[in-house]
Amino acid sequence: MDTLPAELLRLIFDNCDPPSVRALRLTCGRLADVGYNYLLPPSFRAVEWKDDVQRLHSIAHHDRLNRSISSITFNFSKVDEYSARHASFFQHWLQEPEERSILLQDAWIKYYELEGKARDLPPFHTRSAMVEESFKRLPNLKDLEITYTKCPYDIEVFKDVFLVRNCRKRDPTFRAQTCKNMNAIISAVRHVSLNSLTIDQLPLEIFRLPDDRRHWFDCCASSFSSLSKLDLTIDPPANLMPQSRFKAINGLGHVLQLSPNLTHLSLSFHTYHAPMQKFGFSFRALLQDFTFTKLTSLKLEGVSCSEEDLRSFLLRHAKTLERLRLGGRGLAKPYELSIGGVHLHEGSFRSLFASLQGKLPKLQRLHLEGDLEAGDIRTGARARETFKFHASVDENWEDMDGPDHFGSRRVVQEGKTMDSNALERYLIHGGPFPKLVVPDAASASASTASSEGSPSPSPELGPVSGGPGMAATPATAIAV
């Protein structure tokens, strides 16, 4: 072994699972030395039911292991027990009663064991000093994710439950606690040079409160300039007065402008208090005339703006923009049509796309998803431009072929939804404006009639799955 080149030894370790790595390192001193870099995976996942803050602190203060960590995910998600119990029951209602009872009982027993461990640990924000010290000693940390929507437990039943928005816990202390956790992490971020940052459920009011606002400006000023990818899902509060809204949007825009080297930007607004509602703002108020000179990929979801405002923003990035996404899944439940579209309160989408045709020379892909509406919401539905798009590609721009299923988060309803392939061809290659499907009352009635007599779960729950050997039975997609 001592005579083998290090490259060959690394190739051997590349094909070993963690137990094999540990066993192989015990064979000789050279393998122990080469195998050091394989003791830890490059991705570190922190959850609240384990003392991962202390574990990260210990790794960071190890002279060799601290170089192993290149990405960190902080998962603060919690489950709403009442909704989750109902959802988990109906998601498995096709199974035999005894089998279902054992499955759910085991899942909830394991959950309560993990929550018991979480109650013995101090709150995350009280340990901000440890987190900050850890980040200082992680030289290869490049990717950071903060989420409140992904399942934090290694329990299969709960992975399905977390796809339903009602099952994610949002108690009265949620927003204040979330702001404290975000501030603690941002304090640590100033000590590293990140390539990518993803935050799911960032409270918008954090950019309005004076102390929090100043804290973010100070911490982001030095660290965000290295970012090439920024994915923000904003969580607006239910009651935000005009002056507070303007200040919050202005603060968010200032943070975005501290990231001038972005190549990928995703900006989504998820209004949990009103899932169908779109958040209205102006790109001029958000960014003034600022331009991301390297931006190649852009996603906008759950926003409401004017046609002129959106067109102006897109044309400012025409020299570099290669991929454009308008809309997304939003807060749709697994069996629902996508509801994370884009609304235009002035203008029309036909006019928007016609004016952009031929003016985005670098554009290679366009994807639309969700409910796209244009026109004054106070007018009748017939006076507004309304389209519903289903997903045709995933987040990595890979085609979503085959039958619809909940695992791909793709729901299609014939006669009511369409893909955006025709618009993509028009915008990139020109030609006549494509004919688009406009959902009407007739198709909605037909859909309702076809679903009569079919079993469907409660709207508050989620997809229905069968037991082993039993095919999943999706509910008819709900028109929203």
Phi, then psi, of 134 in degrees rounded to 5: -65, -45
User: Which pLDDT does position 438 carry in this prediction?
Assistant: 64
Residues 312, 397: one domain?
yes
What pLDDT band is residue 436 in, cutting at 50, 70 and 90?
confident
- Residue 442 maps to a domain: no
User: Which pLDDT does position 246 carry in this prediction?
Assistant: 93
Residues 56, 142: one domain?
yes
**Count of domains observed in the chain:** 2
Residues 291, 309: one domain?
yes
Identity (one letter) of the amino acid at 336? E
Residues 66, 21: one domain?
no
- Residue 373 maps to a domain: yes
- Residue 470 maps to a domain: no
Convert the pLDDT of each residue in 440-467 to its tens digit: 543 433 333 333 333 333 434 444 444 3
Estimate the crossing angle of helix 128-136 against helix 174-189, to 10 degrees: 30
Residue 150's closest CA among 223, 224, 48?
Answer: 48
β-pair partners for 75: 47, 147
Instruction: Find the DSSP H helices in 79-127.
Output: 81-91, 97-119
Residues 26, 51: one domain?
no
Helix H or strand E encompassing 447:
helix 441-451
pLDDT at residue 404 is higher than 50: no
pLDDT at residue 310 is higher than 80: yes
- Residue 305 maps to a domain: yes
Averaged pLDDT, 377-389: 77
pLDDT at residue 401 is higher than 90: no
Residues 334, 217: one domain?
yes
> Going by DSSP bridges, is the β-strand pair 365-374/385-389 parallel, antiparallel, or unpaired?
antiparallel
Q: Report CA 314 to chain centroid distance, whole Å.
A: 22
Residues 32, 46: one domain?
no
Calpha distance 325→317 (Å, rounded):
14
The whole model's pTM is what?
Answer: 0.86
**43's tokens:** 């991705």
Residues 16, 70: one domain?
no
What are the DSSP calls for 344-413, one per residue? EEES-HHHHHHHHTTS-TT--EEEEEEEEEES-TTS-GGGSEEEEE--SB-TTS-B--SS--GGGT----
Convert the pLDDT of each residue in 39-66 to its tens digit: 889 999 999 999 999 999 999 999 989 9
Top-confidence residue, 78 or 469 = 78
- Domain housing 11: 1-38
Contact between 305 and 281 (Cβ < 8 Å):
yes
Calpha distance 398→379 (Å, rounded):
38
> Going by DSSP bridges, is the β-strand pair 297-301/71-75 parallel, antiparallel, or unpaired?
unpaired
- Residue 421 maps to a domain: yes
Answer with the one of 411, 427, 443 that is the final residue of a domain. 427
Residues 32, 79: one domain?
no
Instruction: Find the DSSP H helices in 137-287.
Output: 156-161, 174-189, 210-223, 242-257, 283-287
The number of residues in the chain equals 480
Residues 336, 399: one domain?
yes
Q: Which residues contact 266 (CB under 8 A, 6 or more apart)?
A: 230, 231, 232, 298, 299, 301, 325
Question: Which of 95-104, 179-188, 471-480 bottoms out in mean pLDDT, i.e. has the lowest?
Answer: 471-480
Residues 110, 20: one domain?
no
Averaged pLDDT, 97-108: 94
Convert the pLDDT of each residue in 232-252 to its tens digit: 999 999 988 989 999 999 999
> Going by DSSP bridges, is the β-strand pair 365-374/71-75 parallel, antiparallel, or unpaired?
unpaired
- Residue 474 maps to a domain: no
With the C-alpha atoms ordered 135, 140, 145, 151, is the resulting torsion angle positive or negative?
A: negative
Average pLDDT, the chain: 87
Convert the pLDDT of each residue in 247-286 to its tens digit: 999 999 999 999 999 999 999 999 999 999 999 999 999 9
- Residue 11 maps to a domain: yes
Percentage of the chain lying above the pLDDT 90 cut:
70
pLDDT at residue 148 is higher than 60: yes
Residues 7, 113: one domain?
no
What are the DSSP calls for 282-300, one per residue? -HHHHHTT---TT--EEEE
User: Which pLDDT does position 261 carry in this prediction?
Assistant: 96
Q: Is 176 exposed, middle or buried (0-12, 13-18, 19+ CB in 10 A)?
A: exposed
Residue 35's closest CA among 18, 59, 50?
Answer: 18
- Residue 449 maps to a domain: no
- The b/e string for 373-389 (b: 16+ C-beta within 10 A; e otherwise) is bbbeeeeeeeebbbbbb
- The b/e string for 217-254 (b: 16+ C-beta within 10 A; e otherwise) is eebbeebbeebbbbbbbbbbbeebeeeebebbbbbbbb
